Amino acid sequence: MHKVIYDTDPGVDDAMALLFLHRHPEIDLIGVTTIFGNASVDTTTRNALFLKREWGFDCPVARGADVTFDPSRPEHGWPTHVHGINGLGDIDVPETIDLPADPRPAYQFIIDTVRANPGEVRLVAVGRMTNLALALKHDPEIATLVKDVVIMGGAFYVPGNVSPVAEANIYGDPEAADAVMTAAWKVVLIGLDVTAITTMSRSYLADMAKAGGKDVQLLADLSQSYIDFYKHAVEDGMMVHDSCASAYIVAPELFTTITGAVRVVCGGIADGQTIVKPDGRHFPPGQWDGLPSQTVCVGIESERVVDLIRDTIVGI
């Protein structure tokens, strides 16, 4: 069993990935931590508790950071045109959910859970990296105790989605992302190089809902405006960014990877750009030297990943 803490900002594609993690028989979802990004942290925490109530997962939900790792960095505003005003495609979600959040801040929940399960916890982070960076800041030793960190974020050999070079999760807190990439733990980056070519059509999702009952129908309902948003890039469908990171946990063989030190640009016109120095390539001394080699996904078997998502969520 893969013990997973899911760090998330629900978020439409976050919700699909959450249902995948909850339902896969080889995954033990031991915690959900929330972060601001697709909406405020109050909203993303409410959304996580709402999905916990509706889908019946029983792990704790811990509220995360509401400002960037460098608190002086200005906020860009919520992407309401992508995920809706309420973060879940503007379906009907109660203002409050009658479920308690864990009393600890997300970074402390991560620290405590990792220390209670040394060498076993896999962090799946699909929003800004702020909670992870704070956990490292408060307890640097956890980098030696985490099994790995699987991130949906970055754009290496393709354009970004919020600037010509930057992907949204990294752009939202570049300083946090750089701290995470350069720490002494194993990081796997599932970025736009693979997620932007992994799509699910509206009809495919509708067929899933018919086969999966009310839980999958809820997923389909909250995804409709997200599909509408993607009409500029996908023919009546959506990119399943965060579910790709969840799928990697159980099926890494469906991904092609390279390794190398990774840095994040902090400031300037390339703010949030992710840059890998591939292992085996030689350059003059620079800012990538002496850093851990991380794993960057550059290829994916998209159809097999989408089918894995479907089979897991529907229970085939």
Residue at 131: amino acid letter? N
Catalytic site includes residue 9: yes
Strands 294-300 and 255-264: antiparallel
Task: Count CB neighbours of 307 within 10 A.
Answer: 13
Task: Give yes or no for a contact between 134 and 69, defined as CB atoms under 8 angstroms apart.
Answer: yes
Three-state DSSP at 261 gives strand
Which residues lie below 8 Å from residue 19, measured CB to CB, with a gap of 6+? 51, 55, 215, 216, 219, 313
Three-state DSSP at 69 gives coil
Catalytic site includes residue 241: yes
- How far is the CA of 79 from the CAs of 38, 83, 226, 232, 285, in angstroms? 6, 6, 11, 16, 39
Q: Which of 9, 13, 14, 242 is catalytic?
A: 9
Task: Count CB neighbours of 298 within 10 A.
Answer: 16
Q: Which of 2, 22, 83, 241 is catalytic?
A: 241
Strands 148-152 and 199-201: unpaired
Distance CA 125, CA 137 (A): 17
Distance CA 21, CA 152 (A): 14
Which residues lie below 8 Å from residue 144, measured CB to CB, with a gap of 6+? 184, 185
CB contact burial 225-257 (16+ within 10 A = b; e otherwise): bbbebbeeebeebbbbbbbbbbbbbbbeebbeb
Active site residues: 9, 241
